[in-house]
């Protein structure tokens, strides 16, 4: 399970250090792809396979499904951390999420999200403003 929020910098060789707490779960490799809200998702191979199977199994005759499949699969990349726990984020994905300089690495249960620091701060502000509404929605779901 991925939990916590960390700020790391992308170095001049486009490498990002994976937080030490996450490294063991990603030692066998990982997948990075476009997420929603202009962030990136990092998934374990098992997590990727589960998500990929569900998305690939959707009815591709629907335009929205094809767009979703393109969004997740076209830019996806398998990566393996180096000995120091660093990964190189492909340029197309860095551009999509506007990752340059400081990056927020957020553990979100079954995935890791990568955000530009500015985008993460704006997202956190939106979440903080909607906490009461989110709590009501969770209560209606029995949580």
The whole-number pLDDT of residue 6 equals 98
pLDDT of residue 131: 86
Q: What is the DSSP string of the chain?
A: -EEEEEEEEB-TTSEEEPPHHHHHHHTT-EEEEE-STT-EEEE-HHHHHHHHHHHHTS-TTSHHHHHHHHHHHTT-EEE---TTSEEE--HHHHHHHT--SEEEEEEEETEEEEEEHHHHHHHHHHHHHTHHHHHHHHHHTT-
**What mean pLDDT do residues 107-126 have?**
97
- CATH architecture of the domain formed by 2-116: 3-Layer(aba) Sandwich (3.40)
What is the chain's mean pLDDT, rounded?
95
Rounded mean pLDDT, 3-26: 96
Q: Domains of the chain: which residue ranges?
A: 2-116
pTM of the model: 0.92
- pLDDT one-digit tens code per residue, 27-65: 999 999 999 999 999 999 999 999 999 999 999 999 999
């Amino acid at each position: 399970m991925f939990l916590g929020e960390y700020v790391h910098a992308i170095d001049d060789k486009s490498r990002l250090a994976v937080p030490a707490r996450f490294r063991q779960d990603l030692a066998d490799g990982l997948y990075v792809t476009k997420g929603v809200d202009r962030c990136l998702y990092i998934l374990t191979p098992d997590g990727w396979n589960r998500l990929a199977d569900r998305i690939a199994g959707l009815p591709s005759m629907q335009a929205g499904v094809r767009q979703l499949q393109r969004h997740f699969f076209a830019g996806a990349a398998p990566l393996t951390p180096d000995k120091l726990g660093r990964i190189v984020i492909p340029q197309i994905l860095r551009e999509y999420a506007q990752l340059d300089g400081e990056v927020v690495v957020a553990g979100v249960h079954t995935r890791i999200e990568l955000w530009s620091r500015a985008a993460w701060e704006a997202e956190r502000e939106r979440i903080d403003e909607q906490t009461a509404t989110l709590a009501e929605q969770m209560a209606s779901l029995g949580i």
